[in-house]
Amino acid sequence: MQKTVYITGADRGLGFALTKKFLEAGYFTFAGRYLEEWNWLAELQTEYPENLKLVDLDLDSDSSIKKAAAEIAKNTDSLDLLINNAGIFAPDVDDILGELDFEIMEKMYRVNSLGPLKVTHSVIELLLKGEKKLLINISSEAGSIADCPRKKEYGYSMSKTAVNMQSKIIQNHLQEKGLKVFALHPGYLKTYMLGDKNEEADIEAAESAAEIFRRFVEARKDYQKIYYDYQGNQLSW
């Protein structure tokens, strides 16, 4: 039976790289699309017309999340994997001795923290019917309290710490039903979170996607904890 995966934030960067990787591996892939003007997914669909289903998805909209889940349910009875990848980042908008942009911080929390939880909730019954029963939340080293060097970036860092907590709670709740949850730091990626590609970053998204697939999808039983980087190193909460 063909395996299925739902990937949010698939337009570009890590989400797009993961979409390509799973398609290459033969998965039927539901790709959450947010950027209508970005045509990479449309081009990819011409290459994989039978295995790629695009679903419009805005994590800041409850109706959009529910509509995407309903569309997925029309096309499959189960999901093997859910990868909550979509997220936003705003740099240096907060300084405790200066200005604090609570509006953008609240949006990061809605999208980065509550967004993944809402998506998971919307398809959890499908996920529990899948063979793999695997949930991957794309977190960040920024979510670590123990190893935090930052003096700014409250919104982004706190939003990723919340992702880690929800990952732990879901694992506690559903591990008896066979669900495995990971919260993964994908590395410092050459992606488009700020609009233009960040060429100063360490690695290409395709490299991170390949390692995530190899380690946490194919060799998942080798990783018993939850919070890791893309190279398989366990991170501190």
Compute the mean pLDDT over every residue in the chain, rounded to the nearest whole number: 94
Quick: pLDDT tens for 58-72.
999 999 999 999 999
Mean pLDDT of 113-139: 98
Query: Cβ distance 72 to 30 under 8 Å?
Result: yes
- Encoded tokens for 47: 């290459």
* pLDDT higher than threshold 80 for residue 184: yes
Q: Report helix, strand or coil for 55.
A: strand
Q: 24 Cβ partners below 8 Å, 6+ apart?
A: none
Determine the straight-line distance between the first and last CA of the chain, rounded to whole angstroms.
Answer: 37
CATH architecture of 4-229: 3-Layer(aba) Sandwich (3.40)
The model's pTM: 0.95
| Phi, psi angles (nearest 5°) of residue 112 | -80, -30
Three-state DSSP class for residue 223:
coil
Delimit the domains of the chain by residue range: 4-229
197 band by pLDDT with thresholds 50, 70 and 90? low
Per-residue pLDDT, averaged over 41-68, amounts to 97
Partners of residue 135 on adjacent β-strands:
82, 181
